[in-house]
Amino acid sequence: MAEGKIFQSLSGFYDIISGGKIYRTRARGNFRKRRITPLVGDNVEFESSSMDEGYLLKIFDRRNSLVRPPIANIDQSVVVTSVVKPDFSFNLLDRQLIALEINKIKPIIYFTKTDLLNDEQFEYFYHVKDIYENAGYKVILPHGDDDEAVSELKALFKNKETVFMGQTGAGKSTLLNKISPELNLATGEISSALNRGKHTTRKVNFIQINSGLVADTPGFSSYEAFDIQSNELRDYFPEFKANAGMCKFRGCVHINEPKCEIKRMVDNDELSHERYHDYVQLYELLKNKKPIYNKKK
């Protein structure tokens, strides 16, 4: 028996990387009986008589997992964010970051299409970069030729499992092709007229880049609705969490409470007004959300 990581899942076969080699396996029937689906990224135990024949025996506990794409144990996500076409949105980026925080995945914000900005517009994105760096995030803002930015991003893949996310048209496939030209992914710009992204199913697999594993999926987009309570939202804004100990009340949600440190910092321009505005908006949304009951089929 040996241990490894599921590298690729395709038509009932699971390719497992172990000791630098890839073994093809099938899952034992008891996984199906127990309704357990092995996922790319799972750390597993397996046995094999050859590189092409083996069985998946055990799945170790997952640190996290995603539904779309079906993948597990992700360390970090590159949040591909366009500055124009589609235009930048604080609200969308903040929702994406919250989704990652909930899944315990470290975000890396990468701005695309910066070559389309004039000097004044670029200056504005320096300000945006400062906001997110002050909140505790890694931000890459390419200037001119983005070869240097791509190299900086690739360096972050070392010994990590990475997935991409971003809205349609943000340039995920274009960026992945720059990182690893052999991928030759179809870009959204080319196929936008035929875009049926929500319904396409394809194999999920990793590619090895700079001693790390990168999921060559078009990214994931599970940031429309959050399955959290309104009073939990504060924990997913790192800059709020870091300063909440200074609030007068221990359970302060930074909305109407007196002597709230977060509101004081926002008023004094020590924290972002845009981020706080998004927080209040999402807080109200979650607070007023009606419970969804699963209907019997």
Q: Which residues are annotated as a binding site?
A: 112-115, 166-174, 247, 252, 254, 260
Burial class (CB in 10 A: 0-12, 13-18, 19+), 103: middle
Taking each helix axis as running N to C, give the angle between helix 273-287 and helix 90-102, from 0 to 180 degrees, rounded to the nearest 10: 60
Q: Copy the structure tokens of residue 90.
A: 């604080």
Q: Which residues are annotated as a binding site for Zn(2+)?
A: 247, 252, 254, 260
Is residue 228 a contact partner of residue 102, using CB atoms and an 8 Å limit? yes
The residues with which 66 forms a beta bridge, in sequence order, are 71
CA torsion angle 194 196 202 204 (round to 10):
110
Distance CA 96, CA 89 (A): 11
The residues with which 55 forms a beta bridge, in sequence order, are 26, 47
Q: Copy the structure tokens of residue 45.
A: 């135990």
Is residue 109 a contact partner of residue 137, using CB atoms and an 8 Å limit? yes
Q: Copy the structure tokens of residue 191.
A: 């196929």
Q: Which residues are annotated as a binding site for GTP?
A: 112-115, 166-174
Distance CA 37, CA 204 (A): 14
Distance CA 153, CA 165 (A): 14
